[in-house]
Structure 1
Amino acid sequence: MAVLMVVGTSSAPPFPLPVTCTTSLPKNSLIPPSSPLKLPLFWPWQKLKVGPLSVSPMGFGTWAWGNQLLWGYDESMDAELQKTFNLAVQNGINLFDTADSYGTGKLNGQSEKLLGKFIREFPGRQEARDNIVIASKFAAYPWRLTPGQFVNACKSSLDRMQIEQIGIGQLHWSTANYAPLQERALWDGLVAMYEKGLVRAVGVSNYGPKQLLKIHDYLTARGVPLCSAQVQFSLLSMGKDQTEVKDISDSLGIRLISYSPLGLGMLTGKYSSSNLPPGPRGLLFRQILPGLDPLLNALKEISQRRKKSIPQVAINWCICKGTLPIPGVKSVNQARENLGALGWKLTSDELLQLEDGANRSSGRMIQNVFQTS
C-alpha cells in the first residue's frame, strides 16, 4: 500500500468548513444535526503555531481508541470513531494526539493504527487530509536505553500509521525521577529522529518546570527546537507546577498543550456521587467529585447564561488561558460537544468566577505519577 505523507505545513490551511451542529440546542430540537451555522468555528488566521506547524486552536486526543481498561474500548466502536474523526476534520480540526502506548494488551498501538486508517479513508478533500498533524508520544519504557531504540520506536509508529513523517514526536514522560541516566539517551533519541526527518518537530509530555528548562537548553544546544510541552491542565489542575510550566513555555516560545481539559469527565456535568462512571474512573470520581460543588456550580451558571454546555465552558477556559486543549473523543456526539468550545471567548469576569470556584473546591485532580518537578 502506498505510504502517505501526513504532516502539518506552515502554509495557510484550507478554510474550515462550517460547524455541523451545536450542543447548546435542546435534545428535542427539530433542527437536524447536519444544519450548518453561518460562520466557521475559527478563521484561518486564528490557527496556532507549534514550531513550524500550523494547527487548529483545539486538537482531539485519542487515548480512548484502544484502551479497554479505562475507556471500555471495543473494536465494534471503530465505525463510530471513524465518523468522529471525519466530523472533526470537516470542521477544521487538524491536530490529533496519540501515543505508541495507547491500547491495552494485544491492542497496544491501536490508537495509531486507527488514526492511520482514518486518514487514508477520509472522504473529504485531499488538501484537508494533507494538513492533518499527528502528535505522537513515545513511551520511556525501561528497555529503551539507547537513542537508536527510541528512533526505532518512532519508525514503528510510522509503520502502524503508514505515514512517512510524524508532525510532532514527543517524549511521553521523563525518567528523571527514577532512571536519570536513561533520560539523556531519550533526549538524544529525540534529536536523532528530528535529524533523520522522521518527525517535523519535537515536544515533551509530563515535564515539570525544572526538567522542561533542562531539556530545552539541551535541545537548543543540539540545534533542535522544542516546540511543545504537554501537561495536565484544567480547572481541576491549575496548581503551581502548571503555572510555572505555562510561564516558562510562554517565555521560550513553546506551545503548551493541555491534556485532560475535562478532568477525565469530571468537568462535563454528567456525573455525581450517585452517578459514577464504571471501572477505575468511578473510584477516582468518588474521591474527588464531592468536593467540586463550587466549581461545578460556577460552570453551570456560566453555561446557562452563555447558552453553552458545561464541557464547552471548561474547554474554553483552557483556550482563554493560552493553551491548546486536546479533549478526548470517542463518539460523534462528544466531537460535536467539544467543537462548540470554539468560536467564542469567556470574559475576564467569567474566568475569575471559574477560578474562584476552583480555588474554593476541595477536590483536586491526582497528578500523573510520571510528572516531574
Structure 2
Amino acid sequence: MKYRELGRTGIRVSPLCLGTMTFGEQNSEAEAHAQLDYAVEQGINFLDASEIYPVPPRPETQGRTEEIVGTWLASRKNRDKIIVATKVAGRGKMSWLRKNGGPTRQSASQIAEAVDASLARLKTDYIDLYQLHWPDRPMRIFEGLDYLHLEGESHPIGEILAVLARLVEAGKVRFIGLANETPWGVMSFLKASEQHDLPRIVSVQNAYNLVNRSYEIGLSEITYREGVSLLGYSPLGQGYLSGKYEGGALPPNSRKTLFNRLGRYEQGNGPKAISAYVALARRHGLDPAQMAIAFAASRPFVTSAIIGATTMTQLKTDIAALTLELGDHVLADIEQIHLDYPNPCP
C-alpha cells in the first residue's frame, strides 16, 4: 500500500480511511472490532470517528462509536501504529451533547469538554487529528451547491483556533483539521494561523464522490497551493453508487431501509446520474462500488477516501478497490456522465 502525507505533518496515512459511524448502531462491538482488525491487516492505518457517532445521532447512542474504537485500541495495544481522527460538533441544537444541556457551539469550554470526553471514550492520551465537524458560524451545510448566508453570532475563527492551539500545547491533540467547510472558511483558518502564530490546519473532510465533485470547483486549488489534505467522505454516495438501491431495492440493515435519511440522492438528476455510473461500471466489467472508490481515491487532491461498511463482504470489496486502476476509456466515460449530470447530489 502506498501511503500519503497528511497535510504537511510528515505523517503518512493509507489512501483509504476506515469510517466508523455505523459502530454501535448498525454494527455491534464484535462486528466493529472484526472490521478494524481486517482493515489493519490490509494496511489501513487511519480511522475516523466523531463525538456524535453513531448515526443517526441521538442521545441514547451518542459516544458509543468512540467507546467501541477505544476498547479495540486498548485490547489490541496498537495505539502507536494507528492514526486516530475524531471530531467535535459545530453549531447545532443537540442539547444532549453537553453537560449544561445547551446547544452546541465551538466555545472554549465546549471544545475542552468535548475533547476530554472523546479521549476518555477512546481510551487514549492523545488524538492524532481533531476536526471541527462543521462550522460554528450559522450557515447551511450538508446540502446544496450554493452558499446561503445566515445572520447570527459565532465565535471568531481566530478564537476557535487559539482554543485548538491550547489542546496541541497540552498534548491532547497532535494536529487539527476542518470538515464540511467552504473555501472562505479554510482560507480564513489558514490566515488566522499565520497572523497569530497558531497551529495550521492540515486537512478538510468534505464529501467527494462521482455525484458530488463540488470540491473540485474551489477547494482543490487550496489543497495544491496550501498543502491542506482532502479526506473525502461518502465515496459511495452513502451506498447509492454501489448499485444496491437500484430499481427501488431496500436491502436489510441498510441506512435507507432503517432510517430513510438519504433524500439528497433521490432528487433532481441524482437517480439518473447514479444509474448511469452503475451501468457504466457494469458495462466495463467493474464492480460499481470499486469503481466509485477507485475514482475518489485516485484523484491527486485526495489524500484519503473515507469508507464505511456494515458487513465484512462490503468492507473487503471496498478495500480491494485500491488494486483497481481505472483505464483512460473508463475515465473518459465518467467525465461524459459528469458533463451530462454535473454534481446532482451535493
- Name the TM tier (shorter chain): 0.7 to 0.9
Structure 1 residue 147: deviation in Å? 2.0
Provide the C-alpha distance between the structure 1 equivalents of 2:312 and 2:48, rounded to a whole number of angstroms: 17
Structure 1 residue 349: deviation in Å? 3.6
Which one is further off, 342-351 or 98-107? 342-351
1:247-286 equivalences under 5 Å are: 247-276=221-250, 277-281=256-260, 284=263
Alignment-derived partner of residue 64 in structure 1: 22
Q: 1:287 to 1:303 in 2, by over 3 A?
A: closer
Provide the C-alpha distance between the structure 1 equivalents of 2:311 and 2:72, rounded to a whole number of angstroms: 14
Alignment-derived partner of residue 147 in structure 2: none
Percent identical: 24
Q: 1:348 to 1:189 in 2, by over 3 A?
A: farther
SS in 1 for 2:33: helix
Query: Quick check: 1:195 aligned with 2:169?
Result: yes
Structure 1 residue 195: deviation in Å? 1.9
SS in 2 for 1:181: coil
Match 2:63 to one of 90, 96, 109: 109
Alignment-derived partner of residue 294 in structure 2: 316
* Deviation per residue, 1:151-177 (Å, 9 max, x gap): 231111001111011110101111223
Match 1:136 to one of 86, 109, 116: 86
Match 1:175 to one of 132, 136, 146: 136
Query: Does the CA contact (< 8 Å) of 2:129 and 2:174 recur in 1?
Result: yes
* Deviation per residue, 1:98-141 (Å, 9 max, x gap): 1011133221111111111112223xxx6x65211111011124
Query: Quick check: 1:160 aligned with 2:121?
Result: yes
1:351-366 equivalences under 5 Å are: 351-361=331-341, 364-365=344-345
Provide the C-alpha distance between the structure 2 equivalents of 1:236 and 1:145, rounded to a whole number of angstroms: 31
Structure 2 length as normaliser, TM-score? 0.81
Alignment-derived partner of residue 146 in structure 1: 107
Gaps of 5+ in 1: 1-41, 68-72, 368-373
Which one is further off, 228-237 or 148-157? 148-157
* Deviation per residue, 1:28-65 (Å, 9 max, x gap): xxxxxxxxxxxxxx2xxx20111232111111111222
Structure 1 residue 258: deviation in Å? 0.4
Query: Does the CA contact (< 8 Å) of 1:138 and 1:153 recur in 2?
Result: yes
Structure 1 residue 341: deviation in Å? 1.1
Query: Does the CA contact (< 8 Å) of 2:212 and 2:343 recur in 1?
Result: no
Provide the C-alpha distance between the structure 2 equivalents of 1:332 and 1:225, rounded to a whole number of angstroms: 37
Query: Quick check: 1:297 aligned with 2:276?
Result: yes
Q: 1:99 to 1:57 in 2, by over 3 A?
A: same
Alignment-derived partner of residue 86 in structure 1: 37
Query: Does the CA contact (< 8 Å) of 2:242 and 2:278 recur in 1?
Result: no
Provide the C-alpha distance between the structure 2 equivalents of 1:290 and 1:252, rounded to a whole number of angstroms: 34
Q: 1:283 to 1:139 in 2, by over 3 A?
A: closer
SS in 2 for 1:200: strand
Provide the C-alpha distance between the structure 2 equivalents of 1:227 and 1:86, rounded to a whole number of angstroms: 27
Query: Does the CA contact (< 8 Å) of 1:171 and 1:190 recur in 2?
Result: no
Amino acid at match of 1:189: V
Provide the C-alpha distance between the structure 2 equivalents of 1:61 and 1:320, rounded to a whole number of angstroms: 18
Structure 1 residue 188: deviation in Å? 2.3
Provide the C-alpha distance between the structure 2 equivalents of 1:294 and 1:145, rounded to a whole number of angstroms: 37
Query: Quick check: 1:339 aligned with 2:319?
Result: yes
SS in 2 for 1:235: coil
Provide the C-alpha distance between the structure 1 equivalents of 2:198 and 2:343, rounded to a whole number of angstroms: 42
1:177-256 equivalences under 5 Å are: 177=138, 179-184=152-157, 185-221=159-195, 222-239=197-214, 241-256=215-230
* Deviation per residue, 1:259-303 (Å, 9 max, x gap): 111111110111124214314436617724974345533444345
Q: 1:138 to 1:156 in 2, by over 3 A?
A: same
Alignment-derived partner of residue 99 in structure 2: none
Provide the C-alpha distance between the structure 1 equivalents of 2:198 and 2:265, rounded to a whole number of angstroms: 47
Structure 1 length as normaliser, TM-score? 0.76
Query: Does the CA contact (< 8 Å) of 1:100 and 1:109 recur in 2?
Result: yes
Provide the C-alpha distance between the structure 1 equivalents of 2:3 and 2:181, rounded to a whole number of angstroms: 25
Provide the C-alpha distance between the structure 2 equivalents of 1:180 and 1:355, rounded to a whole number of angstroms: 41
